[in-house]
Amino acid sequence: MSVSIDGPTFVALQVRDVEAAAEFCDKRLGLRRTPASPPGAVVFDTKPCPLAVREPLPGTDLDSGRPGLGVALWFSTPDAQALYDQLSEADVKILTPIVDSPFGPMFSFVGPEGYVLTAHGA
């Protein structure tokens, strides 16, 4: 019998400044912190799996290229247009206009420390 994995159960963005990245998630994305987080990290109560910002793991060089290069992180939102407008008004860099996708309206923007994040509506 072979063993397999299930879908993601936890996502963590490795960042230089944990508190600044957490503040971006709080203020710009409306995420709520969990009551407890491990040392060096801030965990958010996101569904279906938790999201965290954390100190880099040993051997991780965040200066060697764009954070998350090659990884696509998508997040659902009940109102993609309202989030787009909110982020635009806060001078968050928007990378793509809202377009229709199989997952509803979607757009990409620059998140904490240069990570590219995509938001999609229902």
Identity of the amino acid at 63: D
Locus of tokens 């993609």: 80
Burial 26-59 (b: 16+ CB within 10 A, else e): eebbebeeeeebeeebbbbebeeebbbbbeeeee
- Sequential pLDDT tens for the chain (122 residues): 776 777 788 999 999 999 999 999 999 999 999 999 999 999 999 999 999 999 999 898 998 888 888 788 999 999 999 999 999 999 999 999 999 998 999 999 999 999 999 999 97
Signed CA dihedral, 46, 69, 116, 108: sign only: negative
pTM comes to 0.84
